[in-house]
Amino acid sequence: MNVLKQLFAISLFFTLAACGGGSGSAPSADNTLQAASCDPAHCAEDKSFSVLASGQDGSYTDNRSFMVVKSQQAFEQLWHDNGEWDTPPQVDFSKDMVIAVFNGRANSTGYNVDVVAVEDYQDELMVEVVLTKPDTNGDCHYATVITRPYQLVTIEQSTKAVQFRSYEEEVNGCE
């Protein structure tokens, strides 16, 4: 989790740096505060999201995959293709859309996928995803079982392009 915090801090630093420090103002040569200029294309606002579902046993794909779902019909198809037989959670697609992230097939426990942030830029949304895998250099033992980690989150509906930025992190399951 420490690496996750470092990646988030680095991302936040660069976002704030692009926005003039994030304070909304910057000192001038005579130390008076001036409004900071921010190029809207490079400044982002954090967008809230809610976890709809997550697990280790998805069956949608054996490959890493990121997708955006904007309709009830497409969501119900994804829900059932992912091995869910119960009724899908309610999503109001007139207001929200679903972001689906799949880590792909793994041969042991210790793998996971998490949406950690959604950033709203002028022309696009950037979804930050952390893909975890077990640290195999230690003395930890992981169960040998097929897993397919996934997470589905809802965010406010948008017509902007959605991009994904993913980071890999090794986790020590002994801690």
Q: Is the model's pLDDT at 155 over the cut of 80?
A: yes
- Mean pLDDT on 10-20: 43
| List of residues 6+ apart from 145 with CB closer than 8 A | 107, 108, 109
CB 90 within 8 A of CB 96: no
According to DSSP, the residues that pair with 129 across neighbouring strands are 115, 166
pLDDT confidence of residue 175: 60
Mean pLDDT value of segment 20-27:
39
Q: What is the pLDDT of residues 96-153, one digit of tens each?
A: 999 999 999 999 988 999 999 999 999 999 999 999 998 877 677 888 999 999 999 9
CB atoms within 10 A of CB 138: 12
Residue 132's nearest CA partner among 112, 108, 102 is: 112
Domain extents for the chain?
A: 1-43, 44-171
Q: What is the mean pLDDT of the chain?
A: 80
